């Protein structure tokens, strides 16, 4: 590690890579040294730094960490090369396209004591960070259900994975993160209507380790772009819109009663609605600041590779359920992989 600041590299200048380049170029305490992309920089996204052809060339320049934003199918190959060279890495989600690949990456970085994270960007959305803090403070009481909807038109940048690995991994990760729970089972249905070899719509129902019910609806078939997360519990319901970074609370106004005949029915009633005023910083910038600090040993508030592995395992279980038409027990499924 350098003393004057961290030297960082970037692998991939695609739709996410260009944003990583922009943030890295202005990130305090970090120097963007070079970018790797065999296609070059035809759009001028490299922020004026050299554009290289291989990861090996980047490593040879001497870097402290790299951001991996190449296609998902290449994450494992690139990540293993960085780990072998002793370079920390922030890998775009999903961490790998297979469970086995994700496990190899975890082993490679953990065995060398390197800092490595996964770019699950929703963890840094202001609405979800506020929601998580409020759940941890017990503001909702017992949590009953988490519902997410993530839908919109097909993104032509995606060529190597379906909607489960690309979009649903956002919802899988954020659900476990905001609740602090693990998935224990999942059942799902998928369809493919766009003519591509991968699924473009999924509907999933799951359960978390504390009994919380989970519902996910994710697709690339809707002209409506939606990023919706709701968490319902005994005191009401939180609704997060991660497109606008708004968080709203709908309180349960039901009152306790001394009337014995009615006490057995625990109903709810519409109460107050509160839209919280929360600071709205760019999630990608927050992600980079926290990863930089983790490399410097200042914080561990990142999505670790092991957590990213769990998300890949759940996503694989979603596809397994859709293929077999059965509910998948996560502990048994993971043990069998």
3-state secondary structure of 117: strand
| pTM greater than the 0.75 cutoff | yes
CA dist 40 and 24 (Å) reads 18
State which residues of the chain have pLDDT below 70. 1-4, 156-160, 254-267
Q: Per-residue pLDDT tens for 134-176?
A: 999 999 999 999 999 999 998 766 666 899 999 999 999 999 9
Helices (H), 32-71: 55-60
What pLDDT does 258 receive?
58
What pLDDT does 261 receive?
55
Burial 102-131, CB ≥16 within 10 A → b, else e? bbbbbebbeeeebbbbbbbbbbbbbbbbbb
Q: Which residues contact 91 (CB under 8 A, 6 or more apart)?
A: 67, 68, 75, 79, 105, 116, 117, 118, 119, 305, 308
Q: Per-residue pLDDT tens for 261-294?
A: 555 556 677 788 999 999 999 999 999 999 999 9
CA dist 140 and 220 (Å) reads 32
Label the pairing between strands 201-208 and 183-191. antiparallel
Dihedral over alpha carbons 18, 19, 24, 27 (to 10 degrees) = 150
CA dist 316 and 202 (Å) reads 13
Residue 5, Ramachandran bin (φ over 0: left; ψ between -120 and 50: alpha; else beta): left
CA dist 241 and 235 (Å) reads 20
CA angle 252, 245, 134 (to 5 degrees): 45
CA dist 66 and 56 (Å) reads 12
| 160, 71 contact by CB (below 8 A) | yes
Long-range Cβ pairs for the range 297-305 (8 Å, 24+): 302/90, 302/115, 302/117, 303/117, 303/118, 303/119, 303/120, 303/123, 303/173, 303/177, 304/116, 304/117, 304/118, 305/91, 305/95, 305/102, 305/105, 305/106, 305/109, 305/110, 305/116, 305/117, 305/118
What pLDDT does 256 receive?
57
Please compute Rg for the chain using Cα positions.
21
């Amino acid at each position: 590690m350098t003393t004057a600041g961290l030297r960082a590299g970037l692998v991939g200048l695609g739709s996410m890579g260009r944003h990583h380049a922009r943030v890295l170029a202005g990130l305090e305490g970090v120097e963007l040294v070079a970018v790797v992309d065999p296609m070059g920089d035809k759009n001028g996204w490299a922020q004026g730094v050299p554009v290289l052809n291989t990861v090996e060339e980047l490593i040879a320049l001497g870097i402290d960490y790299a951001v991996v934003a190449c296609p998902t199918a290449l994450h494992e190959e690139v990540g293993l090369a960085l780990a072998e060279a002793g370079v920390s890495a922030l890998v775009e989600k999903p961490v790998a396209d297979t469970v086995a690949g994700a496990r190899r990456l975890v082993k490679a970085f953990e065995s060398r004591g390197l800092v490595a994270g996964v770019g699950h960007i929703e963890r840094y959305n202001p609405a979800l960070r506020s929601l998580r803090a409020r759940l941890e403070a017990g503001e909702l009481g017992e949590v009953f259900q988490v519902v997410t909807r993530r839908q919109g038109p097909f993104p032509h940048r995606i060529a190597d994975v379906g909607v489960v690995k690309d979009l649903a991994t956002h919802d899988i990760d954020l659900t476990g993160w905001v609740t602090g729970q693990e998935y224990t089972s999942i059942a799902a249905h998928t369809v493919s209507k766009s003519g591509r070899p991968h699924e473009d719509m999924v509907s999933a129902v799951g359960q978390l380790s504390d009994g919380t019910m989970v519902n996910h609806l994710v697709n690339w078939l809707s002209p409506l772009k939606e990023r919706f997360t709701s968490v319902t519990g005994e005191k009401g319901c939180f609704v997060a819109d991660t497109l606008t970074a708004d968080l709203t609370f709908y309180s349960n106004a039901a009152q306790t009663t001394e009337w014995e005949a009615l006490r057995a029915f625990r109903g709810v009633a519409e109460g107050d609605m509160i839209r919280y005023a929360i600071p709205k910083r760019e999630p990608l910038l927050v992600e980079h600041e926290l990863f930089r600090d983790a490399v410097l040993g200042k914080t561990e508030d990142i999505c670790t590779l092991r957590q990213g592995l769990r998300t890949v395992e759940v996503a694989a279980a979603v596809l397994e359920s859709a293929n077999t038409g059965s509910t998948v027990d996560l502990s048994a499924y993971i043990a069998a992989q």
